[in-house]
Amino acid sequence: MKKAIITGISGQDGYFLSKLLYEKGYEIHGVIRRNSSMSVGNMALLPEKVRESITIHYGDLTDANFFAKLLKDERPDELYHLAAQSFVGYSFQNPSSTYDVNISGTLNVVNAIKDYSPATRMYFAASSEMYGQPETVPQNENTPFKPRSPYAISKLAGFWTTKTYRDAYGLFMSNGISFNHESEVRGPEFVTRKISQAVGRIATGSREPLKLGNLDARKDWGYAQDYVEGMRMMLQHEKPDDFVFGTGELHTVREFATEAFSVAGMRIHWEGKGVDEKGVDEQGNVVVTVDAGLFRPLEADNFLADYSKAKKVLGWKPRTKFKELIKIMVENDMKGKKG
Ligand code: NAP
């Protein structure tokens, strides 16, 4: 039986990866940082048999001693390093803590592997945000990185740390450069979940409009469940390497919102321009407004994945289409709300 450690098991990807590794017969260990309510995040939503099979280790990414002991004690076959301060907007407000968790934290993980469990294969969760404002579209593993947020800088540092430890010490350490992936357990601060939750609320009677930032922001959005399959495939591959995961489709925030309302049976249209633009339903009610305060200080746009290497080498491809993803999310957020 293979043993895997997942950092960030309480997050979105940790939820889907736990389910996948359970189905594949792994012994799963998860790292969770303690909080006063002892909440285990999305782990609480896992099927009971999966949840109960997981061994939890309480620890923080910024604690080097914790990771040294964990790797010394467990010597896992695989380690999926998913834990991070993952929200770009927050990284502008709190760059130092983002760097502490995402850069120093990643250094703690790779050092613990190097010193105590060099046979462990590691996946690092890198990000399309590292491309910043790319000059070429679509982006692949050879596209230059031009990060435009503290989050993106921290992920690029993690990416290069992973690559450097692989080359310098002959360790099996791989980077997954994932484009945006969403789901019914996505954090509520992310725009897709903000939309699906608001649609669930508005479609069942709430009159409070959904507030969005840049409606023209375009993203390559996929379903998280598909991406965790790619992560595992990378660690089964014969050699460590870096791979892009995405859908190869671009959609605006406006398109996402329009489709989300349509899943709930509401047809909306758009009136006005810029910060005065509004989404209006068939009865003339304003259901979406623009809030300039939600714009990023520096936009990063045009992330479009060229995942041909992952397709050719690993046999990976995204299975869930844009409209299916939105349907999954909105239907989940409408559950239990219909009167
Ligand atoms: P997520 O839902 O925000 O999960 C992040 C996880 O990291 C949570 O379990 C969180 O724990 C944990 N964490 C944060 N700070 C920690 C600390 N100091 N010590 C220990 N654990 C800590 O993120 P996700 O969407 O699953 O993404 C997984 C990884 O992929 C992240 O590294 C993210 O940056 C990267 N990524 C995601 C996407 C995407 O579109 N989802 C795209 C590219 C890359 P708490 O529950 O305690 O907060």
In sequence order, the 6+-apart residues with CB closer than 8 A to the CB of 91 are 85, 98, 149, 150, 151, 154
- pLDDT, one tens digit per residue, over 303-326 is 999 999 999 999 999 999 999 999
Is the pLDDT confidence value at 197 over 70? yes
Instruction: Inform me whether the pLDDT recorded for 176 exceeds 60.
Output: yes
Most ligand 1 atoms within 8 A of CB, residue of 13, 36, 182, 219 to mutate: 13
Nearest CA to ligand 1 atom 3: 86
> What burial class does residue 317 get, using C-beta atoms within 10 Å of its C-beta: 0-12 exposed, 13-18 middle, 19+ buried?
middle
pLDDT at position 336 is 63
Q: What is the mean pLDDT of residues 240-266?
A: 97
105 Cα nearest atom in ligand 1:
18
Q: How far is CA 229 from the centre of its chain?
A: 13
Q: Which of 5, 66, 86 to mutate to test the pocket of ligand 1 (most atoms within 8 A of CB)?
A: 86
CA of 13 to the centre of ligand 1 (A): 8
Residue 8 CA, closest ligand 1 atom number: 9
Chain centre to alpha carbon of residue 272:
32
Atom of ligand 1 nearest to the CA of 41: 46
**pTM of the predicted structure, to 2 decimals:** 0.97
**What's the 14 CA to ligand 1 centre distance in angstroms?**
8
Helix (H, G, I), strand (E, B) or coil at 27: strand
- Whole-angstrom Cα distance, residue 84 to residue 274? 33
Ligand 1 atom at minimal distance to the Cα of residue 224: 41
CA of 85 to the centre of ligand 1 (A): 6
Q: Are 140 and 206 in contact (CB under 8 A)?
A: no
Tell me, what's the pLDDT at 196? 98
- Residue to substitute in 66, 82, 182, 320 for testing ligand 1 pocket (most ligand atoms within 8 angstroms of CB): 82
Cα–ligand 1 centroid distance for 81 (angstroms): 9
Structure tokens at 42: 């999305």
Burial category of 48 from C-beta neighbours within 10 Å (exposed 0-12, middle 13-18, buried 19 and up): exposed
Element holding 67 (H helix, E strand): helix 64-74
> Is pLDDT of 19 > 50?
yes
Which residue has the CA at smallest separation from atom 46 of ligand 1?
10
Distance CA 258, CA 280 (A): 10
**Percentage of the chain exceeding pLDDT 70:** 99
pLDDT tops 70 at residue 339? no
Q: Are 11 and 86 contacting, i.e. CB atoms less than 8 angstroms apart? A: yes
Rounded to whole angstroms, the Cα distance separating 223 from 329 reads: 10
**Rounded to whole angstroms, how far apart are CA atoms 72 and 96?**
29
Confidence of residue 212 (pLDDT cuts 50, 70, 90): very high
Read off the pLDDT of each residue in 127-135 and give the average, rounded to a whole number. 93
User: What is the pLDDT, as a whole number, of residue 38?
Assistant: 87
Strand-pair partners of 219:
251
Q: Which residues of 240-278 are buried (b: 16+ CB within 10 A; e: fewer)?
A: bbbbbbbbbbbbebbbbbbbbbbbbebebeeeeeeeebe
Residue 44, judged by CB atoms within 10 A of its CB (0-12, 13-18, 19+), counts as: exposed
What pLDDT, in 10s, does the model give residues 49-100? 999 999 999 999 999 999 999 999 999 999 999 999 999 999 999 999 999 9
pLDDT category of residue 338 using cuts at 50, 70 and 90: low
Distance of alpha carbon 87 from the chain centroid: 9
Packing angle, helices 105-116 and 150-169, rounded to 10: 10
Residue type at 264 in one-letter notation: A
Residue 337, pLDDT above cutoff 70: no
The protein residue with its alpha carbon nearest to ligand 1, atom 38, reads 180
For ligand 1, atom 22, the nearest C-alpha belongs to 83
pLDDT at 295 over 90: no
The alpha carbon of 1 and the centre of ligand 1 are apart by a number of angstroms equal to 26
Ligand 1 site, CB within 6 A: 8, 10-14, 33, 41, 60-62, 82-86, 101, 125, 127, 178, 180-181, 187
Nearest atom, ligand 1, residue 7 CA? 21
